[in-house]
Each structure stands twice: as structure tokens, then as C-alpha cells.
Structure 1
Amino acid sequence: MADETAWFKSSYSGDNTGAGCVSIAALTGHVGIRDSKQHHGPALVVPTASWSAFIREVRAGRLGR
């Protein structure tokens, strides 16, 4: 999918206790999302436009918990 160097830990993942950490990779036309603790585990891949819309909704507080 993406070279290991393409992945970065989300700045919203919190401290390094391992709770709720996600890694993101910018792919051509898509974004990869995975559990930071499972480097070789599954990843969710979504179109860049969908990821951007999701982030807008989160920032606007429209998704709740």
C-alpha cells in the first residue's frame, strides 16, 4: 500500500501510552488510516475528498462522540 516512511502518527492521538493512536498516509488520491500499534495490520483507505469532509465535520463538532 504505502512505504513505511509515508505513515505518520496523528497529532490528535495523544501521548505515547498507546490509547487511541492512529497513523495516516497520504496516497495518490486517497488517505490510508491504520492503528499505530499494528504497523502490519489492516488499513482503511478512503478517497482524499472523503477524508477532508470527515475532518471538516470533526473540527466543526458535528459528529459527536
Structure 2
Amino acid sequence: MEFQVKGLRVDLSDAKWFKSARSGADSDNCVEVAFVGDAIAVRDSKNTSGPALIFTQAEWDAFVGGAKDGEFDL
């Protein structure tokens, strides 16, 4: 199923989803990420048939940069 969001054509039917190796086998609070063309999709690993959030490369880069810089630390 292909759709358009944020000016990107996205088809998640063949997406290769993964989660961080740091998640651990027993962790149930994880998200999965798929790089699909120019889009980055994120979904709840407990609900793989549920919705996915779609990000542009610039949005993803800003998020990863913020995480590395500690912007989201409590």
C-alpha cells in the first residue's frame, strides 16, 4: 500500500523494520524503525500492524542530533 505524506511517496509493505540492539531481548518498550526511500518510518514494536509515524530525512536528522546532544534527557 503506497501513500503520500510530507511530499514523499511511502510504501511500507516491504519495509525492513529493526529496533536498536540496545533494546535487549526482554524490553517491551521499544520502537522499530524502517528506512523507506527518502522517508523514515517509526512504529511501536508491540503493535506491528498499527500506525507508523513518517519522518523526512531532515526531521530524522534533527531528532537523532537532539538525542545525541541530550535534549530529551530527563
TM range (shorter): 0.7 to 0.9
Query: What is the TM-score of this pair, normalised by structure 2?
Result: 0.72
- How far did 1:64 drift? 2.7
Query: What is the TM-score of this pair, normalised by structure 1?
Result: 0.80
Larger radius of gyration: 2
Equivalent position of 1:58 in the other structure: 67
- Amino acid paired to 1:11: A
Gaps of 5+ in 2: 1-10
How do 1:27-46 and structure 2 match up within 5 A?
A: 27-46=36-55
Gaps of 5+ in 1: none
Quote the sequence identity (%). Answer: 33
CA RMSD of aligned residues (A): 1.6
How many residue pairs match? The answer is 63
Following superposition, which runs of at least 4 residues in structure 1 exceed 6 angstroms of deviation? none
